[in-house]
């Protein structure tokens, strides 16, 4: 299979914009999950001055909005997307996802606004002095902020797993119809969120890339990467032990050809092995270059994994 035919074949329905969308959603869910865990385990480091929280402030909602814009304009009739926003179907995975996105964004905005309360009030008083309801809402949610944060964590985990559920619901594709996908996408999303956060920390504190919050993210990142490797192995073992359709799907994906090389060189080599090999050097380094190298490779690997799952998953039809 040539690179041209690898991206264009008869059974292909969802193409590269969907892979970007899945990648961005994972970053948002991963950042929010890590930010909440930081606030729970290191409250003193999880304030409004935290690099992780500031990165989450920008990319938490930003990645979601960009991902949804890509998805909407990729539709054949993007102007009909609004119907999904208000017409729910509890039997449709996509419709349930829209409900999840809406709830996620509302809770995310409230949670972030409370954390950055001083900054929000200062902006409101400067630009919208008559909008006094902002301060009233912030005061109203103060007693419930910890409960709101717990709800936010649950929604972030659900959103990270949802992208896997979205693909695993495609029963006509044996490769994608796999119960491991939600967990794999959840933990690879946390891995991508960790990579983005560590890059932001390294760029902000170039002379000290190993701050308290950076060490915390590193402690979470390492077991997450190993769990990601385990889930990948379980995913392929499940295919190998499955029915004829799943075995054909596995052979098409890893039996040689473009997507096989993409997986072994890109996902495994660049995304997993190189970061694991470079991590001891990056941990000893007193500059930010080591962090950028390791996290850049890890982040690229997560993106390549999204492309691999999406495209290789559509090679075989039941």
Q: How far is CA 183 from CA 212, 249, 260, in A?
A: 28, 20, 22
- Work out the average pLDDT over 200-221: 83
The confidence score (pLDDT) of residue 201 equals 92
Distance of alpha carbon 87 from alpha carbon 207, whole angstroms? 52
Distance of alpha carbon 53 from alpha carbon 163, whole angstroms? 23
The confidence score (pLDDT) of residue 56 equals 98
Q: Contact 48/118 with Cβ under 8 angstroms? A: yes
Angle at 123 between CA 196 and CA 126, to 5 degrees: 155
The confidence score (pLDDT) of residue 279 equals 85
Query: 223 by DSSP, 3-state: which?
Result: helix
Distance of alpha carbon 37 from alpha carbon 190, whole angstroms? 12
Instruction: Summarize pLDDT for 88-137 with one digit per residue, the tens.
Output: 777 778 888 889 999 999 999 999 999 999 999 999 999 998 888 999 99
Distance of alpha carbon 18 from alpha carbon 159, whole angstroms? 15
The confidence score (pLDDT) of residue 79 equals 72
Residue 80 confidence (pLDDT) above 80: no
Instruction: Summarize pLDDT for 260-281 with one digit per residue, the tens.
Output: 999 999 999 999 999 999 888 8
The confidence score (pLDDT) of residue 259 equals 96
- Work out the average pLDDT over 144-153: 97
Supply the DSSP string of 105-160, one letter for each residue. Answer: HHHHHHHHHHHTHHHHHHHHHHH-TT-THHHHHHHHHGGGHHHHHHHHHHHHHHHH
> Average model confidence (pLDDT) for the chain?
91
Distance of alpha carbon 272 from alpha carbon 242, whole angstroms? 26
Supply the DSSP string of 45-99, one letter for each residue. Answer: GSSTT-HHHHHHHHHHHHHHHHHHHHHHHHSSSGGGHHHHHH---TT-HHHHHHH
Angle at 191 between CA 189 and CA 193, to 5 degrees: 70
Please name the fold of domain 3-312. Answer: Formate dehydrogenase/DMSO reductase fold (1.20.1630)
Of the ranges 70-79, 105-114, 167-176, the best mean pLDDT one: 105-114
Whole-number percent of the chain with pLDDT over 90:
72
Residue 190 confidence (pLDDT) above 80: yes
Instruction: Summarize pLDDT for 197-208 with one digit per residue, the tens.
Output: 999 998 887 766
Look at the chain and count its residues: 318
Reported as a pLDDT band with limits 50, 70 and 90, residue 1 is low
The confidence score (pLDDT) of residue 3 equals 60
Distance of alpha carbon 305 from alpha carbon 231, whole angstroms? 13
Residue 2 confidence (pLDDT) above 70: no
- Work out the average pLDDT over 168-176: 93
- Work out the average pLDDT over 62-73: 91
Q: Contact 123/86 with Cβ under 8 angstroms? A: no
Higher pLDDT, 151 or 209: 151
């Amino acid at each position: 299979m040539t690179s041209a035919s690898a991206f264009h074949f008869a059974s292909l329905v969802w193409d590269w914009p969907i892979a970007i969308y899945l990648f961005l959603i994972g970053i948002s869910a991963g950042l929010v999950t890590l930010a909440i865990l930081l606030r729970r385990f290191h409250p003193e480091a999880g304030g409004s001055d935290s690099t992780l929280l500031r990165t989450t402030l920008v990319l938490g909602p930003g990645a979601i909005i960009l991902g949804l814009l890509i998805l909407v304009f990729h539709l054949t009739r993007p102007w009909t997307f609004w119907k999904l926003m208000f017409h729910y179907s509890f039997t449709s995975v996509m419709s349930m996802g829209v409900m999840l996105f809406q709830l996620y964004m509302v809770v995310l905005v409230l949670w972030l606004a409370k954390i950055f309360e001083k900054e929000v009030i200062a902006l409101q008083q400067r630009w919208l002095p008559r909008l006094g309801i902002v301060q009233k809402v912030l005061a109203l949610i103060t007693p419930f902020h910890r409960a709101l944060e717990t709800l936010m964590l649950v929604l972030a985990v659900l959103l990270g797993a949802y992208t896997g559920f979205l693909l695993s619901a495609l029963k006509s594709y044996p490769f994608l119809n796999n119960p491991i996908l939600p967990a794999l996408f959840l933990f690879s999303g946390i891995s991508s969120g960790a990579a983005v956060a560590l890059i932001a920390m390294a760029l902000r504190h170039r002379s000290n890339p190993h701050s308290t919050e950076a060490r915390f993210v590193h402690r979470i990142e390492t077991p997450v990467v190993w769990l990601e490797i385990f889930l990948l192995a379980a995913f392929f073992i499940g295919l190998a032990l499955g029915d004829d359709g799943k075995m054909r799907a596995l052979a098409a994906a890893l039996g040689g050809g473009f997507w096989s090389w993409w997986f072994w060189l890109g996902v495994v080599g660049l995304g997993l092995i190189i970061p694991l090999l470079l991590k001891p050097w990056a941990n000893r380094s007193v500059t930010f270059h080591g962090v950028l190298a390791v996290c850049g490779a890890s982040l690229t690997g997560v993106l390549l994994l999204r492309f691999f799952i999406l495209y290789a998953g559509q090679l075989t039809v039941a």
